Amino acid sequence: MNQQTWYCADCGGREIHHDAAVKWNPANQEYDVVTVHDGTTCTTCAGAPDNFKPYAGSPVFGIPPEPADTVKVQLALTVEYTPNGCSTESLVELLSGVASSAAMAGQLTGESPAEVAEWTSTVAVLQAQ
């Protein structure tokens, strides 16, 4: 369905925040929107919460272009540890860090022109001690 919505003309993101005035509603115990202002932020372009850049991206209202074709690829890495006193939790944390480090170092795309649309990682204990 091609419905008009807010999207980012830079990255295609659909998570757009709008500046607004709100007032507290004691009956509902939540904020009510009074009015929506012009300021917008693409939360994808704005970056991580600890380095959030307000008004990032180019939010526009319209029919977003169809998303580009994507391909989903999965890496399965199985490690059998001799823990030597390390807890299973700490070993799970180590493997989780491998995925994060690779993503942060740009190793998911390397020197290729490919772009990462989304990545997730899951670490599971296959055989407990």
Binding interface with Zn ion (CB under 5 A): 8, 10-11, 13, 42, 44-45, 57
Tokens 């757009």 belong to residue: 16
68 three-class SS: coil
Contact 17, 9 (CB under 8 A): no
- Least distance CB 68 / Zn ion (angstroms): 15
- Least distance CB 12 / Zn ion (angstroms): 7
- Least distance CB 102 / Zn ion (angstroms): 23
**Of residues 11 and 98, the one with the C-beta less far from Zn ion:** 11
**Of residues 10 and 17, the one with the C-beta less far from Zn ion:** 10
Contact 62, 12 (CB under 8 A): no
**Of residues 14 and 98, the one with the C-beta less far from Zn ion:** 14
First to last CA, the chain: 51
Contact 24, 15 (CB under 8 A): no
- Least distance CB 63 / Zn ion (angstroms): 17
* Angstrom distance (rounded) from CA 8 to CA 41: 9
**Of residues 57 and 64, the one with the C-beta less far from Zn ion:** 57
